């Protein structure tokens, strides 16, 4: 079974995180939603989520994919956390799937993972990273990195991630069940 780790900080965008968790679980992926600390986290719109594990505990396991939702100040919390930067670098170096949506591609850029790569984000979030080949698409794939624009593209983003982990047929099966 494929595995995915979705990170969640106080101030992360709930819609992006929960959409990815939901779609991947529908597709049979073993998903761990990890908070930066123990206990509940309040998202950018005030929704309180109880992650499956704190990040320190989650880091004891291996994953096929790591996903970073955007939102503020959640993205800034992810970007300021040395564990997160080390994790995304380690996953990328191992050829694992690394994904970020909305403002969170800036975390990947901060980690040096988007240098010379095509990527997208919420408008202006990658402007301070001139080495990124900024695209205006809903979802951009470049090697093992997947980025997306924001809450409105969360479903497309999640379906691309599902396809990367489980294949086209499973994506189509899950998407059909969504009545999209």
Q: What are phi and psi of 67, to 5 degrees?
A: -130, 135
Span 62-74, average pLDDT: 98
Q: Is 125 an annotated catalytic residue?
A: no
Cis status of the peptide bond prior to 73, with omega within 30 of 0? yes
Q: What pLDDT band is residue 3 in, cutting at 50, 70 and 90? A: very high
The residues, any chain, with a CB within 8 Å of residue 101's CB and separated by 6 or more, are 13, 16, 20, 67, 68, 69, 70, 147, 148, 149, 150, 153, 154, 157
Span 11-26, average pLDDT: 98
Residue 109 near residue 85, CB atoms below 8 Å: no
The domain at 3-101+153-177 falls in which architecture? 3-Layer(aba) Sandwich (3.40)
The domain limits of the chain are 3-101+153-177
- For a pLDDT cut of 70, what percent of the chain falls above it? 100
Q: What is the pLDDT of residues 94-147, one digit of tens each?
A: 999 999 999 999 999 999 999 999 999 999 999 999 999 999 999 999 999 999
DSSP H helices, the chain, are: 14-26, 55-58, 74-79, 82-93, 105-110, 154-166, 168-177
Q: Exactly one of 102, 132, 139, 159 is catalytic; which is it? A: 102
The 3-state DSSP class for residue 169 equals helix
Residue 160 CA to residue 55 CA, distance in Å, equals 24
- Cβ atoms within 10 Å of 154's Cβ, excluding its own: 25
Residue 59 CA to residue 87 CA, distance in Å, equals 8
Residue 71 CA to residue 45 CA, distance in Å, equals 9
């Amino acid at each position: 079974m494929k595995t995915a780790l979705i990170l969640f900080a106080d101030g992360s965008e709930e819609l992006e995180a929960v959409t990815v968790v939901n779609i991947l679980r529908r597709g049979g992926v073993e998903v761990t939603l990890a908070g930066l600390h123990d206990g509940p986290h309040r998202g950018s719109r005030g929704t309180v989520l109880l992650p499956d594990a704190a990040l320190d505990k989650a880091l004891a396991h291996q994953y096929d994919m790591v996903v970073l939702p955007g939102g503020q100040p959640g993205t800034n919390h992810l970007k300021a956390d040395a564990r997160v930067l080390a994790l995304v670098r380690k996953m990328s170096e191992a050829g694992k799937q690394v994904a970020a949506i909305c403002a969170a591609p800036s975390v990947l850029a901060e980690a040096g993972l988007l240098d010379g790569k095509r990527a997208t984000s919420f408008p202006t979030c990658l402007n301070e990273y001139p080495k990124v080949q900024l695209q205006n698409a809903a979802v951009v794939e470049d090697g093992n990195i997947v980025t997306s624009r924001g809450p409105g593209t969360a479903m497309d983003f999640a379906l691309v991630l599902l396809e990367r982990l489980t294949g086209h047929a499973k994506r189509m099966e899950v998407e059909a069940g969504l009545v999209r």
